[in-house]
Structure 1
């Protein structure tokens, strides 16, 4: 899972704060920096003064810089005409073509010899544009994509839209990134967060990032101006190809607690009423699970079959259909209510694990 931050020169942060953000993010393994060079509220004089040094700091920390550009960017930077060499000289490795560029131009840029990658706007991508790029012979090995963020409340896209756009891009072999908001310092002028999905606007970094990972996003960026150290650390811990769900632990048994710390795989023969872990019974190693807390199993309950279930002892499930109490089944945990929607992504063959509060 690639991770990223956003730097907005000439906006909220001081020069020193931007440098500190880059260096702190690098310590937590963040590999990418997004910056926009055509935000209307930007202090253009500050941007011009700071851009070279900020990009040099990013280079020293081996971070890829993605610049969101439009034809207006050329005027801001004082570049007379579009010239990849000028962006390469600044230290920008990836150009996100926001608007104003057609399929022929994108195709031409994708074959550049300057080792500059091209990034498409994933939120506005269409099947028609992808077909045109294919017909024109675009170099898809040099193209990836990144969704928009949405500063105004109520304008973020839906999960359905994001999944549909991702499907188009993944079928073409193009990797996809998206934004989540920070709850620490939000970017001006609206300061309402910068998520791709509207449903993430008030979510913490952990839940929003784990949701994007569950959907299949390849790269996650914190869009706001100055994420906290805790948010950067949380982002660095997000796992790719694994659904992580926060839950309440309801067992004090040491063996049970250790067993629940493993990563599991959802069985491919999907049950109607529960997610069944493929590996749990094989982890017993001769340990006997005694009956305990055999209460009603509500939606999101995490259960472990005890010795009374004979050869099923050690069967771990997450309940999808409420079930009555059974003396053979221990309730050892409960998925947090606001995390229950993540169970929809634990499909057959998918890895999953628990984060206990």
Structure 2
């Protein structure tokens, strides 16, 4: 499931409308960003409330104990938050009382901070009577470069939530407007900082099995939104290719055998005259020519830098931002080339 984010200082109602029109129903916001001035916070929050109400979007609000004062509420006035139209809470540090979480579940969807959740805490929640089936755990995002999670830590941490069958939420960077005040992306995984949003989404879904994937930055591009939603609805992976008009336009199956050097597309074996034959750096799309014998007509994509081959006609190149897609092509989903 794709979610987006909207923040008081730079909220764009038109972006929310476009996302809603594309099928997005979930929005994340933070009510504890210290860089928001009181005016920016008040005006932006009002704009957000009006937009999500008009579009019937669900909002997860990230709160801390300081949030109540920013909203003009008494400490721990959760009824006041509910009355403002916010019914999903992401609890940051300071809200780790199992009795409070059980109480909040009566009215809110409760989203816990994944960094603070350990086995003993889950056991304490269970003893208190918290309905673990209705919980969500959300990883942090990390505005400061070089502070995001490693892939190994992320995967190991997620085993706990998978064992307890608790849905997991993580953030990917946006490839449109970056979030203030650092403007360096807000990913969960450090290696995804600077990733194209579409590539980051597919990696989160296919490699890590994350169910709730939110764009942490303030916007993603219309192109990435369309490709993500297409994958969500049809299971088709869009592969952008530069420098060609010769590739098939229909979805194609990928061979299930995973090779270290190339992705093999299932296409008819057919006569293919020798054409332009170039070097094959990672991302190069080729079709085997008649020198390949019975393999002529097969379309391949170089996953790594491969040596020159006289049997491989050049068709195009997967641009660098989309190279992270290639290790994800294992035959589980069809691919569709699109010219850039």
What interval of TM-score do these two structures reach, taking the shorter chain for normalisation?
0.7 to 0.9
TM superposition shift of 1:353:
4.3
Structure 2: gaps (5+ residues): none
Which of 161, 165, 168 does residue 169 from structure 1 map onto?
161
* Residue matched to 2:83: 89
State the TM-score, normalizing by the size of structure 2. Answer: 0.79
TM superposition shift of 1:298:
4.3
Q: Is the counterpart of residue 276 in structure 1 residue 260 in structure 2? A: no
Matches within 5 A, 1:1-357: 1-8=1-8, 12-13=9-10, 18-44=12-38, 47-48=41-42, 51=45, 54-80=48-74, 82-102=76-96, 104-105=98-99, 107-109=101-103, 111-112=105-106, 114=107, 116-134=108-126, 136-182=128-174, 185-215=177-207, 216-225=209-218, 227=219, 231-238=221-228, 239-240=231-232, 243-250=237-244, 252-253=245-246, 257-258=247-248, 261-267=250-256, 269-277=257-265, 279-281=266-268, 288-295=271-278, 297-306=280-289, 309=292, 312-320=295-303, 322-327=306-311, 329-347=312-330, 349-357=332-340
Distance 1:290 1:234, change over 3 A: same
Which segment is superposed worse, 342-351 or 57-66?
A: 342-351
Deviations 1:218-250 (A, max 9, x none): 34433344x37xx14522421246654443345
**Partner-residue secondary structure (3-state), 1:265:** coil
Aligned residues: 334
Distance 1:274 1:197, change over 3 A: same
Deviations 1:152-200 (A, max 9, x none): 2322223333333344334433333333444654444333333333334
Structure 1: gaps (5+ residues): none
State the TM-score, normalizing by the size of structure 1. Answer: 0.76
* 1:30/1:236 contact within 8 Å kept: no
TM superposition shift of 1:320:
4.2
CA–CA separation in structure 2 for the residues paired with 1:171 and 1:236? 33
